[in-house]
Amino acid sequence: MKEIAIEARGLVKNFGEIRALQGLSFTVEQGEIYGLIGPNGAGKTTALRILATLLRPSTGSAEVFGFDVERDASEVRKVISYLPEEAGAYRNLSGWEYLRFMADFYAISKETSRNVVKEAAKISGLGSRLNDKVKTYSKGMTRRLLLARALMVEPKLAILDEPTGGLDVVHAVHVRRIIKEYVHEHGVTVLLSSHNMLEVEFLCNRVALMNEGRIIGEGTSQELKSKYNASNLEEAFMEATRLG
């Protein structure tokens, strides 16, 4: 039986009078790519930030590999990496310099740091462009560099917020392939958010349809399409929303 990577129970998050999450509950098994999908404002980023220990829930609880995200926040941070939607890299460093700088935070020796950076370079697929300063990169190239930073330390759980948001087709395809291959090779668990439902259909083992801070449907892409008699996840989402 696979280990439980994430268990969220009744997560509620209030920002003043605004309720961003309304009792969110879901479970993710080790080695899964699990997607939270829905429109902007559905609560996806709020959920990811709680699991990344950046926000505290108003009520409810969540565990990451058995560690409570509030009581054991420091332990959770040891087993996760988090890539925010609007993350940036140090613009005046080269790609290599940025990866070395970040690797030094995690590596216990120079040899380990070199190996981590070598792995990151492979993940990024940026080749000789790693010699150039980050400020010369396109958005897609920067995102590939940041994804490499998130995965290079082989976290038990990678939390990725809109990993291909705003990217062109070429870079988006590369990022999707990185995620899928890395999970297959290393057994990393991935929790990602996206409003691109067709992308998630390709990438995720299971998905949760989110709307207005709650889950309105959950399962494999095929299960959801069958349940709502839909040809794709976009149609399934619209039907799930209609049924409430």
CA-nearest of 220, 223, 215 to 241 is 215
The dihedrals phi and psi of 33, each to the nearest 5 degrees, come to -105, 110
Q: Is residue 21 part of a domain?
A: yes
Global pTM value:
0.93
Q: How many other C-beta atoms lie within 10 A of the C-beta of residue 2? A: 10
Separation CA 81–CA 125 (nearest Å)? 20
Q: Is residue 129 part of a domain?
A: no
Structural domain that includes position 204: 4-92+155-243
Q: Is residue 216 part of a domain?
A: yes
Q: What is the pLDDT of residues 13-70, one digit of tens each?
A: 999 999 999 999 999 999 999 999 988 889 999 999 999 999 999 999 999 999 999 9
Q: Is residue 115 part of a domain?
A: no
Q: Is residue 198 part of a domain?
A: yes
Reduced to 3 states, what is the DSSP secondary structure of residue 90? Answer: coil
Q: Is residue 190 part of a domain?
A: yes
Overall domain count for the chain = 1
Q: What is the pLDDT of residues 159-200, one digit of tens each?
A: 999 998 888 888 888 888 889 998 888 989 999 998 888 788
**Residues 6+ positions from 150 with CB-CB distance below 8 Å:** 81, 82, 83, 158, 160
Q: Is residue 121 part of a domain?
A: no
CA-nearest of 161, 145, 151 to 185 is 151
Q: Is residue 213 part of a domain?
A: yes
**Residues 6+ positions from 146 with CB-CB distance below 8 Å:** 83, 87, 88, 89
- If one compares 104 and 52, the residue with the highest pLDDT of the two is 52
In CATH, what number is assigned to the domain containing residue 74? 3.40.50.300
